Chains A and B, each alone.
Chain A
Amino acid sequence: MANVHTLRNIGISAHIDSGKTTLSERILYYCNKIHEIHEVRGKDGVGATMDSMELERERGITIASAATNVIWRDHEINVIDTPGHVDFTIEVERSLRVLDGAVLVLCSVGGVQSQSLTVDRQMKRYHVPRIAFINKCDRTGANPYRVKNQLVEKLGLNAVLMQIPIGLEDRLEGMVDLVTMKALYFDAGPHKDQVREEEIPSHLLEEAKARREELLDGVSLCSDELMEAMLEENVTVEILNKAIREATISLQLCPVFMGSAYKNKGIQPLLDAVVNYLPNPTDVVNKALDLDNHEEEVILHSDDDLPTVALAFKLEDGQYGQLTYIRVYQGKIRKGDELYNTRSRRKFRVGRLIRMHASTMEDLTEAGSGEIAALFGIDCASGDTFCDPKLNYSLSSMYVPNPVISLAVKPVDKKASDNMAKALNRFTKEDPTFRTFVDPESNQTIIQGMGELHLEVYVERMKREYKAEVEIGQPEVAYREAITARADFNYTHKKQTGGSGQYARVAGYIEPLVDTGGDEPVNYEFVDEIKGGTIPSEFIPSCDKGFQTAIKKGSQVGFPILGVRAVINDGAWHAVDSSDMAFQTAALSAFREAFERAKPVILEPIMRVEVVAPNEFQGSVFASINQRRGMIVSSTEDTTSSTVVAEVPLSEMFGYSTVLRSLTQGKGEFTMEIGKYGRVPVSVSEELKKAYQEKRKH
C-alpha cells in the first residue's frame, strides 16, 4: 500500500490542441511506463476525443484512461483524465472532485482561451490547487510571458514564473530554474532527452535575477517564514520550496512552468513540481454528507484505520471488461471486504481490485486512503458512494442539472435495437445528465441531455462502440411551466360509487416561489397552515403528494412546473370516506384548477453561449446572436480573436455549429451550458400551446 504522503492525485486539464495527449505520453515515457514515443501529429482539434480513444486502442495503452498510475522520484502519481469539452461538464466536475491538484496546460501561442476559463472556473469551485505548464514554446509566435500575464488578468490567478526560457520558438534550448538558479538543458543520455544542469548563460543572468526577485516577492506575500529569510538574506531552496508548496496548496499561488512536450523539453522539472508543490491527500479537506443525520457534513480523514468511504467516479468498458474506478477517501478497501452502496442501498463484496498502469494492470490486495483503484464487475452508477456497512455517507451531493434537450432515437433493426439498449444502459450509468425513457404516447425511445453536441456524441458512440445503427428525430427543447400570480383554491373531491366513498376538501393558495439566488434552485415548497385539525395530520402528506403529482406536468404544454409554493390552510374530512387517495386527488385537482387562474407562463432554457472567432467576424457573430433572440452579455477582444458571451434560448441554437462554421470560414467555435430558465415570448408560447393541443388530440 502506498504511503499517503508520497501520493499525488492529479489531473491534466487543457484546451483542445494545447498538447495534452503528447504531454501525458511524455509523462509515461519519463516515468518508464512506455519505452517508445509515438506521435499524435496530423490530427486537428475537431473530434480529438475520439481520436485519442482510437489511438489508445490501436496502441494498447491507456493515455486517456480514467486514472493511470506512474512513479516519479519515489512518489506515486495518479494521472486522472479530465475531459476537455464543456458539454460534458458533469464528467469534468466529477473528475475534479477526485483530484487533489491539477496541471493546467496552455499553449504558448494561443494562451488562455475560452475553455481554459471554464475549466479554471470549475477548479476554483472545487478548490483545486494548480500549477500551469506553458506548452509548445518551440512554436512560432511563442510568448510564455504573455501567457503568464493572461493567467493573472483573465483568470485572476497569482501566477509567478518558476522558469524563464533559454531561447524561444525554433531556438528553444531549455529553461532557467529560478528556484535553484541553474540552467536546464534536455540533451543528455543515449536518447538525448535527459536533463543536463549548467550555469546560467551570462546573457540571461540579469533577466533571471530580476525574475527571481519577482518570484520571491510574489511568494513572500503568502509566507512569513520566507519574508524573514529574505530580510536576513538567507533564502535557501528548502525554505523557498516550502513556501511555494504552502501557497500553492492554499490556492494563493499558481507556479508557472514551461517547455515543449513535443521536443521533450521541460517534462522532468514539471514532474518535480507535481511532487514538490501539489498536495498529497492529507493536505486536502474532504467532506461527506451523513444520510442518517439530515445530510450533515462530516469531515473525512485519510486514515486507513477508520471506516471506509470511497467514491465510484468513472465506469469504463475497456479491453479488460467493465471497470469501476474508485477513490478511497477514508479507511481502506480490501479484497473480500463487504461494502455498502448508499445510493442503491445494496451491499456487495469486493472481488478483484486492481490498479491501472499505462499498458498493464496490477492486482492489489488492498487500497488505502487517498488511493485510486478499480473494481471489476460491480453493478453501480458513477457518482455512487461505497461505505463501510456501518456508515451511511454520500460523497456526491453534487447538483445534477436537468437535461434541456431531447431527441427521439429509432434503431434500424432488431440487432441494432438490442445493441442500443446495451449502449443506453451504459451511458446512463456513466453520465447522470444523460437520460433515456420510452415516451408512452408515441412509444419512441427518447434520449435527453445537456446540448445538441452532447447527444450527437452519444449517438456517434452508439454507432462506433456498440454497432447500434439508429435514426434520429428532431431535437426538442425541455420547456417548463410556471405561475406568475397567486391563486386561491377551495376544492371538494366527492365520489359515491357503492361501498365506501371518497371525500376530501382542501383550501389554500398557490403562489410563485421567488428564486433566492442559491446554487440549487428550489422548485417546490409545501406549507401546512392547517389549524384546528380541519385536515387530520395523517392526510397532510397526502396533500403534499397530490401537489407533487400536479407539478410533474403542466396543463399548457405538458412540461413540469417550476417555482411554486402550495399552501393549505383549511379543509374538511369524513371519518369513513376520507383516505390518502382522496386527499391526493383533491390536492391534484385543486392545483390544476388554481393553476389556470395563476397566470401561467411557459419557460424555456436559456443557454450561456460563448463564441470565439477571429476579430474580423465579430459583426457576423453579433448579428447571428441577435437573430436568435439572444442577449449579448459581453465581448472581449484581444489581438487576434474576440470572445462573445451571450444568453440565447436553446430552441434557437439548433444547428448553430453549422451556421457559425459558414459565417466564420470554419474559424469560429462555441460552447454553451444551461444558464437559467426564461419566459417564452407570447407569440412563441401561443404556437407551443397550439402544437401541444394538436398532439393530444391524436
Chain B
Amino acid sequence: MEIQELNDLSPLRVFDESLGGGLGRGNLGVLVSRHGVGKTACLVHLATDKLLHSEHVIHVSFSGNVEHVINWYKEVFREVSEGRSLDDAASVYNNILSNRVVMNFSQENVTIDKVLSSLETLIKHGSFKADAILFDGYKLTIATEDDVRKIKAFAQEMNLEVWFSVSPVRADVTYDKYGVPSTMLKYIDLIDVLIGLIYNEERDKVVMTAVKAQGAMMEKPMGVSLDPKTMLISK
C-alpha cells in the first residue's frame, strides 16, 4: 500500500471528522485521562499521522528519557505500517524521522517560559518549521491560567497546532463520566478541543469523547476508540 492510501484509510480521518475537521493551527487540543490509559501512544499516533503527511512535529517530553519516546515512535510506526503493509516501510520511516525532533526537559519545575524559549530557538536557529507541537506529560492541571495563555499565544504566533496529553497530578481529583478531571475545567475557555479518555470494561476499549470541539461544549462520543492491545486509535 502507498502512503496516500494508508493516510486515506487511517482511523485518524474519523478522529478529525469527529472534531469537525481536526484541531487547526493556532489552537490547543487536550487528551485527558487517569494515569496509564494510553495517552502517550495516542499522542504519538497523532504525531505519526502528521509525519506521514510530511508535516514537521516537535515532541516535548518531561521524562528525562529520550530513548523511551523514540521507541514509542518506532513501535507505533511498526503497528501502523505492518497493519496496512506499507510499501518500503523502512525508507518511509527514515524519511519521516528528519521531520521529528524530540525535546526533553528533565529539570524539575521547568517554567513554561523556558520551554517556549527553547522551542522558539529550535524553530528559528535550528530552522525547524514545525507544524505541530505535542506536549507529553505536561502538568497542565497545575499550570496557571497565565501559562496556558502564553502557550496559546505561542501557537498562534508560530501558526501551529498544539496537543497535550494530561493526567492530573493530585490524587484527590474527581473524574466525570468521560474521564475528565475537575481540575481541567478552569482552562476550558482557553482550550479549543478537549477529549476525555476512559476505560470501558464491557467493551474492553478506551472510549474517547469529544467534550469540547469547534469552540463549543458538545460531549459527543467520537467515532474512534483506543485499542487496549496496541494503544492505538482505531475505528
Contact = CB atoms under 8 A, between A and B. Distances in A.
**Are A and B bound to each other?**
yes
Interface stretch (A33-41, A131-139, A574-582, A626-634): A626-634
Contacts of A625: 126
A645 B121 contact: no
A624 B68 CA distance: 26
A153 B64 CA distance: 6
A153 B106 contact: yes
A632 B126 contact: yes
A637 B101 contact: no
Contacts of A514: 88, 90
Given A622-B121, A623-B126, A634 B106 contact: no
A638 B107 CA distance: 4
A422 to B, nearest CB: 44
A154 interface: yes
Given A622-B122, A623-B125, A626-B127, A637 B110 contact: yes
Given A625-B126, A626-B125, A639 B107 contact: yes
Contact of A633 (B64, B102, B110): B102
B148 to A, nearest CB: 21
Nearest to A152: B64
Given A153-B63, A154-B65, A637 B122 contact: no
B220 to A, nearest CB: 36
Nearest to A630: B126
Contact of A632 (B70, B107, B122): B122
B65 A631 contact: no
Interface string A493-520: 0000000000000000000001101000
Contacts of B175: none
Most A CB contacts (10 A, CB to CB) among B63, B121, B126 go to B126
B134 to A, nearest CB: 14
A423 B68 CA distance: 44
A636 interface: yes
B125 A153 contact: no
Contact of A515 (B63, B90, B121): B90
A635 B123 CA distance: 13
A635 B106 contact: no
Nearest to A149: B64
A622 B70 contact: no
Interface string B83-114: 00000101000000110011111111010001
B125 A622 contact: yes
Most B CB contacts (10 A, CB to CB) among A515, A618, A635 go to A635
A637 B90 contact: no
A282 B88 CA distance: 46
Interface in A603-655: 618-620, 622-623, 625-626, 631-639, 642, 645
Contacts of A515: 90
A156 interface: yes
Interface residues of A, number: 25
A618 B106 contact: no
A154 B101 contact: no
Interface residues of B, number: 30
A119 to B, nearest CB: 15
A620 B125 CA distance: 7
A156 B68 CA distance: 9
B174 interface: no
Nearest to B64: A153
B125 A517 contact: no
Given A156-B65, A515-B90, A637 B126 contact: no
B63 A635 contact: no
Contacts of A623: 125-126
B136 to A, nearest CB: 13
B104 A635 contact: yes
Nearest to B103: A635
Contact of A635 (B108, B110, B118): B118
Given A632-B101, A637-B106, A618 B66 contact: no
B133 to A, nearest CB: 13
Contacts of A633: 70, 97, 101-102
A562 B107 CA distance: 43
B186 to A, nearest CB: 28
B70 A634 contact: yes
Given A620-B125, A623-B126, A625-B126, A635 B101 contact: yes
B128 interface: yes
A457 B69 CA distance: 36
B106 A638 contact: yes
Contacts of A156: 65, 67-68
Contact of A154 (B64, B118, B126): B64
A642 B69 CA distance: 17
Contacts of A637: 103-107, 110, 114, 118
Interface in A514-553: 514-515, 517
Contacts of A631: 97-98
Nearest to A515: B90
Contacts of B121: 618-619, 622
A638 B69 CA distance: 17
Nearest to A624: B125
Nearest to A635: B103
A636 B122 contact: no
B107 A635 contact: no
B103 A622 contact: no
Contacts of B122: 622, 632, 635
B66 A634 contact: yes
A576 to B, nearest CB: 47
B71 to A, nearest CB: 11
Nearest to B108: A639
B65 A626 contact: no
A632 B65 contact: no
A517 B126 contact: no
Interface string A149-160: 010011010000
B46 to A, nearest CB: 19
Nearest to B66: A634
B118 A636 contact: no
A635 B115 CA distance: 12
A517 B63 CA distance: 28
Contacts of A150: 64
Given A618-B118, A620-B125, A632-B101, A645 B107 contact: no
Contacts of B65: 153-154, 156
A298 B122 CA distance: 51
B102 A634 contact: yes
Contacts of B108: 639
A150 B101 CA distance: 22
A473 B115 CA distance: 44
Contact of B104 (A619, A626, A636): A636
B120 to A, nearest CB: 9
Most B CB contacts (10 A, CB to CB) among A515, A618, A636, A638 go to A636
Contacts of B63: 153
A636 B70 CA distance: 13
B58 to A, nearest CB: 10
A319 to B, nearest CB: 44
B106 A636 contact: yes
A621 B108 CA distance: 23
Nearest to B107: A639
Interface string B58-85: 0000011111111000000000000000
Nearest to A156: B65
B106 A632 contact: no
A631 B128 CA distance: 9
A636 B88 CA distance: 31
Given A153-B64, A631-B98, 5 more contacts: A156-B68, A632-B101, A635-B104, A636-B106, A639-B107
Give the top 5 A-B pairs by smallest Cβ distance, nearest first.
Answer: A622-B126, A153-B64, A634-B102, A636-B104, A619-B125
Interface of A: 150, 153-154, 156, 514-515, 517, 618-620, 622-623, 625-626, 631-639, 642, 645
17 contacts: A150-B64, A514-B90, A618-B121, A619-B121, A622-B122, A626-B125, A626-B127, A631-B97, A633-B97, A634-B66, A634-B102, A635-B101, A635-B122, A636-B103, A636-B104, A637-B103, A637-B110
